[in-house]
Structure 1
Amino acid sequence: MIDAHLHVWDRARSSYRWLDSAPEPLRTDHDLARGLAAQARYGGRRAVLVQADETLDETAYLLELVAGEARLAGAVCYLPLEDPTTVAQQLPSLTANPGFVGVRNLTHDRPDPDWILGADQRRSLALLEAAGVPLDYVAVLPRHLENLVTLAGAHPGLTIVLDHLGKPPVGLDDDFRRWADQLAGVAALPNVVAKVSGIYRADLPEAVTAEQLAAVLATALAAFGADRLMLGSDWPVSTVSGGADATMSVLVAAVDALPQQQAKSLRHDTATRVYGLAR
């Protein structure tokens, strides 16, 4: 299996200022050896690293890790989307690096939920679109999903990877129904794919139940189909909400119970295709 969403961080290499207000277990460094050991416990053999800080220092750090570890399939890195000049300067060298597979910003941490729609950000997205570089997109609010529909429609050549299925509000029936409706609207855009990852509620200490995970997976499959979904752990962020191992073991078992081709898509085929990973 390819774990399509694995984080590592080293505060000697980048600032990770958001950790100052994060749950205590996350405030320490989380290195690659621990991350690879964690994903191996639920059948992960390769992983895609995903940015966790908005600095070019972290981009360099992640690409160094990928270059030095065969079990890493690639890295989704940071570029300052609000600065299209820097994006244009950085893209040629990054796209020449086989470890570079995508770009992400911490959209969900911006005070303005419409930040991604800014004129400079849109110019940067056009540059990614022209270069064939996927965008990982973090959505935690209904407004973020509304904006994703706008972006996907305006940039039809840009592959957008919706992280964590837009954070389904498990256990909240009315909110869950709204999320499911919005997810179907997002999935109607053919250039959007999604990660079945990070399925937990940060405000609750326990893991989501097997029934809740099954409902999320069924909703995602109905919206996207298996060939537009990929599995990811969101380690180590997921460790503070019931434990990544408990959630992933249940989720992987549910995926493996699907028809073989659907399971293959979620386990590795979609990530390989979307990120252009070596087989």
Structure 2
Amino acid sequence: MNTKADTFPIIDAHHHLWAPQSDPGQVGYVWLRNLGAMKPFGDPTPIQRDYLIDEFLAEPDPRTLAGSVHVQCDPKLPNPIAETAFIQGISDASGHPIMIVGFADLAAGDFADQLSGHLAHANLRGIRQIIAHLPDRPDISFAATNLLADLTWRGQYALLADHGLSFDLQLYPEQMPEAADFLAQHPDVSVVIDHIGSPHDLSDAGLTRWSSGMRALAHLPHVCVKLSGYAMYFRSELAGKAVRLTQDTLRMFGPDRVMFGSNFPVDSLHLTYPDLLNFVIGQVDDDPSVLEKVMYRNAHRFYRFGGT
């Protein structure tokens, strides 16, 4: 397939690599070894296996990736720094540039030490601690409590700026107004919203809540968003509401604050990689300069692929 998007490189701003079967990096995976345990995105059994660089790089065929961003995959690791070291080793050995978003617990007393360990690895660019929490929906909550209300968590968030680190924000629309108020106090920490704002409720009321919350976040110039995680909320239906929310996101955030992410292998439960690429490319714009920003330049800048 020849499209305008074949004339420039592509960076995947959100994917995972893992090895729960072989675990050569001694990462000590937890949920990936709990076979059949249901997650908010469905039954993960087909992906609870090794998923490494060669398989990942073959996914976009016939297109290729110029770089990618590995995002932490397990908050219960005994030592999250081991995951960062494992991915750094894969990037170094493969020659494929992988920037790393590691896990650290902002509510922990040793958070500063966790950051120090991560920062020993050259490709570390940011931190993700999923804060998605709904008090009446523990079945889809990733966090056990509302971390935005935790004073230790709020206080230590500022340490990210001290080290030039970004924050990957995965939350639900119900949390967005509170998050926007908090993030406005920290304009020196670059933020990217994961998975198009996690629209778990696709009813009219849910979509209204999503739209209001995303607008509040879009008002903050240091907040970006990823067109990622489609299979988590739309399964294989890349039409209708998936189109509407993608177009709304592009309008709210503009061409300079939106980036593509596959969320593979999670999204492989319902979609192929070319499915996702073709959908996002088809939604973005006929203007090649806008496509290049969303598919490459915005992620290159945000995750500092140039190293600065």
TM-score category (smaller protein): 0.7 to 0.9
Unaligned runs of 5+ in 1: none
Aligned to 1:210, what secondary structure does the other structure show?
coil
Letter in 1 for 2:153: Q
**Over 4 Å off, 4+ runs:** 40-43
| Aligned with 1:87 (options 100, 111, 117) | 111
Cα offset for 1:128? 0.3
Cα offset for 1:40? 4.6
Letter in 2 for 1:16: Y
Q: Deviations over 1:31-62 (max 9, x none)?
A: 12111211455543321111102222212212
Match of 2:218 in 1: 187
**Aligned alpha-carbon RMSD (Å):** 2.3
| CA distance in structure 2 between the partners assigned to 1:3 and 1:41 by the alignment | 15
Q: Deviations over 1:249-276 (max 9, x none)?
A: 2222333x43222111101111111111
Aligned to 2:221, what secondary structure does the other structure show?
coil
| CA distance in structure 1 between the partners assigned to 2:306 and 2:123 by the alignment | 10
Cα offset for 1:118? 1.5
| CA distance in structure 2 between the partners assigned to 1:39 and 1:47 by the alignment | 12
Q: Would the alpha carbon gap of residues 97 and 59 (structure 1) be closer, same or farther in structure 2, given more than 3 Å must change? A: closer
Aligned to 2:220, what secondary structure does the other structure show?
coil
Letter in 1 for 2:59: A
| Aligned with 2:206 (options 172, 175, 197) | 175
| CA distance in structure 1 between the partners assigned to 2:177 and 2:61 by the alignment | 35
Q: Does 1:208 align with 2:233?
A: no
Aligned to 2:206, what secondary structure does the other structure show?
helix
Cα offset for 1:135? 0.5
| CA distance in structure 1 between the partners assigned to 2:61 and 2:153 by the alignment | 37
Match of 1:119 in 2: 151
TM-score normalised over the length of structure 1: 0.88
Higher mean Cα deviation, 165-174 or 213-222?
165-174
| Aligned with 2:302 (options 268, 274, 277) | 274
Q: Does 1:101 align with 2:125?
A: yes
Q: Give the 5 Å matches for 1:176-255.
A: 176-201=207-232, 206-255=235-284
Q: Does 1:263 align with 2:287?
A: no
| Aligned with 2:190 (options 159, 162, 171) | 159
Letter in 2 for 1:5: H
Letter in 1 for 2:293: S
CA contact (8 A) 1:6 1:234 kept: yes
| CA distance in structure 2 between the partners assigned to 1:17 and 1:237 by the alignment | 16
CA contact (8 A) 1:104 1:137 kept: yes
| CA distance in structure 2 between the partners assigned to 1:42 and 1:172 by the alignment | 36
| CA distance in structure 1 between the partners assigned to 2:50 and 2:183 by the alignment | 35
| Aligned with 2:160 (options 128, 147, 150) | 128
| CA distance in structure 1 between the partners assigned to 2:93 and 2:253 by the alignment | 34
CA contact (8 A) 1:42 1:252 kept: no
Q: Would the alpha carbon gap of residues 272 and 64 (structure 1) be closer, same or farther in structure 2, given more than 3 Å must change? A: same
Aligned to 1:248, what secondary structure does the other structure show?
helix
Match of 2:67 in 1: 46
Higher relative helix content: 1
Aligned to 1:271, what secondary structure does the other structure show?
helix
Q: Would the alpha carbon gap of residues 192 and 138 (structure 1) be closer, same or farther in structure 2, given more than 3 Å must change? A: same
Unaligned runs of 5+ in 2: 1-9, 133-141
Q: Does 1:29 align with 2:50?
A: yes
- Residues paired across the two proteins, number: 273
| CA distance in structure 2 between the partners assigned to 1:175 and 1:208 by the alignment | 18
CA contact (8 A) 2:84 2:124 kept: no
| CA distance in structure 2 between the partners assigned to 1:267 and 1:64 by the alignment | 25
Q: Deviations over 1:120-141 (max 9, x none)?
A: 22232111022221001111x2
Higher mean Cα deviation, 62-71 or 187-196?
62-71
Cα offset for 1:246? 2.0
